[in-house]
Amino acid sequence: MLSHISKKNVLFITTKNPDYIRNVQEISLIKKEADHYVVIGSKSKYYFVRLLCVYFSLITTSVSSFDTVFIGFAPQLILPLFKYKFRHTHIIADFFISLFDTFCQDRQLFHPRSLPGRFLHSIDQITLDQANLVICDTISHGKYFTKEFGIPPTKLYPLYLQADTTVYHPLTIDKPAKLKNKFMVLYFGSILPLQGIDIVLKTITLLKKEQNIFFYCIGPIKKKTKLMFCPDAANVKFIDWLSQEQLARYIGQADLCLAGHFNRNIAKARRTIPGKACIYEAMKKSMVLGDTPANHELFKADSKHIFVELGSPRALADIILQLSKSQNQGTDKPVQ
């Protein structure tokens, strides 16, 4: 991929916030390799406004001086509409998210063979066909694109997600006084179905009588979800949202971080590496990962990387319990 941006004049386009973890990674790479680059994006907190800003910029910007157009988040919303402007440039599309996979197989909002499902599939197909190079987040995910959309493997390039190390780096943060002697377990996420929040909440419930274990669960979890899977646990604090800097401080306090993905029924959970795992890795935290082909591409089982069976709150609870007991006994024995 570097040959397509090295010493080139690059236009980077994204419809996601510029500080989105994937954007930060790709802009940093372009900044390091390219001779010159321009970023088209928007900082608005409203996605529709960001999209309109990007469309207006593309309509009013000449791209004739650029060697490469690198489309970050959601190239499906850019490339089919503006391919005519990019006909003399090399096109890189980050296919971090497939619309068909996300809405039909991950979130299951549409049946794959329904009219919306076929439309989303065709938009993905057109975007993949029009790009000269397609970025995927794992080898496993790339194999899915080859199987589902017929994209040749030679057109695919895996780019593993990296954390923003200006925010996420090793921190030593003291726990609150009331948690000083407790084994602190942290989970955060955007609470997508494939992440398996139900598994995490059921695990918390299984361990609710363990006085020395406490959970921080960070993310927009619906009240009815909490009541359904974790109705009466006093061993957890729920936090809806934190800034990146605040989140880093909470992670710095944790004895163990839950990465996932934990869902057993959504195939995408096996093909993708959770972004939080890259953050935990940058901060050198011990983590529990779903036992998936994608996670094994980047991580090896050791005392810092513990793999767990997907879809099993009992297996996850047993790991947490064993690690908490090992810490209390002053040992560093790996989980079997």
Q: For residue range 218-250, list pLDDT tens digits in order.
A: 999 999 999 999 888 889 999 999 999 999 999
Residues 263 and 134 both lie in one domain: no
In a domain, 172, yes or no: no
For residues 28 and 26, give the distance between their C-alpha atoms in angstroms, rounded to a whole number.
5
**What stretches of 72-176 adopt beta strand conformation (E)?**
90-94, 133-136, 156-158
For residues 274 and 192, give the distance between their C-alpha atoms in angstroms, rounded to a whole number.
11
Domain count for the chain: 2
Q: Mean of the pLDDT values across residues 269-273?
A: 95
- The pair of structure tokens assigned to 223 is 């009240």
Residues 111 and 258 both lie in one domain: no
Alpha-carbon distance values, 76 to 81, 84, 220, 313 (Å): 9, 14, 27, 36
Residues 104 and 215 both lie in one domain: no
pLDDT higher for 32 or 18? 32
| AA letter at 176 | P
At a CB cut-off of 8 Å and minimum separation 6, what does 299 contact? 277, 281, 289, 305
For residues 144 and 151, give the distance between their C-alpha atoms in angstroms, rounded to a whole number.
9
- pLDDT at 332 exceeding the cut of 80: no
Nearest to 153 by CA among 164, 161, 142, 163: 142
Give the chain's mean pLDDT: 93
Residues 153 and 184 both lie in one domain: no
- The pLDDT score that the predictor gives to residue 21 is 85
Residue with tokens 């983590």: 287
Adjacent-strand bridge partners of 231: none
Residues 79 and 183 both lie in one domain: no
Residues 19 and 154 both lie in one domain: yes
**Structural domain containing residue 81:** 2-158
Which one of 158, 189, 211 terminates a domain?
A: 158
- The pLDDT score that the predictor gives to residue 327 is 81
- pLDDT at 335 exceeding the cut of 60: no
pLDDT class for 4, splitting at 50, 70, 90? confident
pLDDT class for 334, splitting at 50, 70, 90? low
In a domain, 334, yes or no: no
pLDDT class for 103, splitting at 50, 70, 90? very high
Residues 129 and 190 both lie in one domain: no
pTM for the model stands at 0.88
